[in-house]
């Protein structure tokens, strides 16, 4: 009997994509979310993983409300870090790999070239700090893989693409969008396939995985509007014009050279990924 793949946070946009990608490869996969598993409950985590004896556990569960983390850092730490320790302990008990999803927010965002896996981390926000603690907890698993990604969007979640589309559908003729934050928009469907490939390659350590290329939020919004055939003006503005409780990285492009060396390819260009996502959304 093949050992299954377990996925936490399976209702979220990435969790759904991972479950679908695994099933598409013929893998036995079981997903859990908060209604059936509280990952902050170490005993419950141990029972689930102990009974299933999986090949690997993919942790897509996280406290991702970046601004709320600034005032609820203890809660975010419990979910983004302490719970990861529970998963790591349970994985060690059954010899399973732990795949932990992390973020560009572990870097300070002041760089000028794509961040490599071994670059110094220096999170500027509570969210980034809690996710960095989660990385450290994941490393207590004897076999672990930490996948850092960024600017995620996908089916069944709240994200930038959906927000821009809603504004267009609501008749907005002018969109003001931040133009001085640079990153790589990443489609959960593409990331999930890469994640399954990395599991198949028995990868370990830390790997950066984002769609190829980089743009600003303004550039991203402009491409969304173009792809939708929307007649809207997208006006570039500065981060200072949209103050938020949590600081955002000015530059968070991730170097995916290690991903390419492990799997033989990079993720497709972000423009291609966006077009496929929008086409799939229309079909559904």
Q: In the chain, what are the domain boundaries?
A: 5-159+184-212+253-268
- What pLDDT is stored for residue 1 in this prediction? 52
Q: What is the pLDDT of residue 284?
A: 57
User: Which tens digit of pLDDT belongs to each residue from 12-24?
Assistant: 999 999 999 999 9
> Virtual CA dihedral for 106, 107, 113, 114, nearest 10 degrees?
0
Residue 254 and residue 270 in contact, taking contact as beta carbons nearer than 8 Å: no
CA atoms within 13 A on the CB side of 275: 8
Q: Is 127 a catalytic residue?
A: yes
Given 127, 153, 251, 277, the catalytic residue: 127
Q: Is the pLDDT of residue 246 over 90?
A: yes
pLDDT digits (tens, 9 = 90+) for 93-140: 999 999 999 999 999 999 999 999 999 999 999 999 999 999 999 999
Homologous superfamily of the 5-159+184-212+253-268 domain (CATH): NAD(P)-binding Rossmann-like Domain (3.40.50.720)
Q: Phi/psi class of residue 171: alpha, beta or left (left: φ > 0; alpha: ψ in -120 to 50)? A: left
Rounded Cα distance between 162 and 115, Å, is 27
Q: What is the reported pLDDT for 282?
A: 76
The dihedral built from the CA positions of residue 101, 107, 113 and 117, taken in this order, carries a sign that is negative
Q: Is the pLDDT of residue 283 over 70?
A: no
Alpha-carbon distance of 187 to 264, in angstroms, equals 19
Q: Say what the pTM is.
A: 0.97
Alpha-carbon 94 to chain mean position: 26
């Amino acid at each position: 009997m093949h050992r299954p793949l377990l996925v936490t946070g399976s209702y979220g946009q990435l969790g759904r994509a991972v479950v679908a990608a695994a099933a598409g490869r013929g893998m036995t996969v079981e997903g859990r979310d908060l209604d059936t598993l509280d990952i902050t409950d170490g005993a419950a985590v141990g029972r689930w993983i102990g009974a299933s004896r999986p090949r690997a556990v993919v942790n897509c569960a996280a406290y991702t409300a970046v601004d709320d983390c600034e005032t609820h850092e203890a809660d975010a730490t419990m979910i983004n870090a302490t719970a990861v320790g529970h998963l790591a302990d349970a994985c060690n008990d059954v010899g399973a790999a732990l795949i932990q999803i992390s973020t560009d927010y572990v870097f300070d965002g002041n760089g000028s070239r794509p961040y490599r896996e071994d670059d110094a981390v220096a999170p500027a926000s509570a969210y980034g700090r809690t996710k960095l603690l989660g990385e450290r907890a994941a490393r207590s698993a004897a076999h672990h893989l930490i996948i850092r990604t960024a600017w995620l969007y996908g089916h069944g979640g709240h994200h930038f693409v959906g927000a821009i589309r809603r504004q267009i559908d609501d008749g907005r003729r002018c969109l003001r969008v931040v133009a001085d934050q640079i990153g790589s928009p990443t489609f959960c469907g593409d990331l999930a396939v890469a994640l399954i490939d990395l599991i198949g390659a028995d990868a370990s350590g830390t790997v950066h995985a984002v769609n190829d290329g980089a743009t600003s939020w303004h550039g991203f919004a402009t491409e969304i509007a173009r792809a939708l055939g929307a007649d809207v003006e997208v006006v570039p503005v500065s981060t200072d014009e949209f103050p938020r409780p949590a600081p955002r990285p000015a530059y968070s492009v991730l170097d995916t050279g290690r991903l390419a060396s492990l799997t033989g390819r990079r993720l497709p260009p972000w423009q291609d990924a966006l077009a496929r996502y929008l086409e799939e959304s229309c079909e559904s």
